[in-house]
Amino acid sequence: MPEYLVNLPRQKNVINIYFPFHFDINYHTASTSDENQHIRDLIEQLLFTTPGERVNRPDFGSGVLSLIFAPNSPELAKAMEITIQASIEQWLGDLIDLQTLEVTSVDSSLYIVVEYFVQSSGETQTATFRTTVP
């Protein structure tokens, strides 16, 4: 992150766009007022975005989906944990502190359990994500 952005105060009237993106009943961009849900959505987007997929942020993402096709092994699970941890710290480090991270591959499914501390609320949250090989 550029140094000039590091110490900027967080804005209080920020709209948290709902994920997945859609419109509300008034045809405006849907938003959520639940910050914990918004942070969970941000983690999900980070996990399941492949680097290079976003036009203006080519290094955004964790590359987890490309690792699903690799042979299952403890070494691969550890490699995924390190990759995910680095991505979370890089992109969401100003919002959360990562407590624990578990990556498990079972047959064609990948399970990721993330426990994190939300800096703004002081709460610890746990989120579980699952994806399957198409």
Q: Is the pLDDT of residue 129 over 60?
A: yes
Strand, helix or coil for residue 116: strand
CB of 38 closer than 8 Å to CB of 16: yes
Which tens digit of pLDDT belongs to each residue from 60-70?
888 887 766 66
Average pLDDT across the chain, whole number: 80
**Residue 116 binned pLDDT confidence (cut-offs 50, 70, 90):** very high
Label residue 72 by pLDDT band (50, 70, 90): low
Q: What 3-state DSSP class applies to 85? A: helix
CA distance 63 to 49: 7
d(CA 60, CA 57): 5
* pLDDT band at residue 105 under the 50/70/90 scheme: confident
Sequence-distant (≥ 6) Cβ neighbours of residue 85 within 8 angstroms: 98, 101
Q: State the distance between the two ends of the chain, measured CA to CA, in whole angstroms.
A: 34
pLDDT top residue among 9 and 44: 44
Q: Show the beta-strand stretches assigned E in 63-133.
A: 96-106, 109-118, 124-132
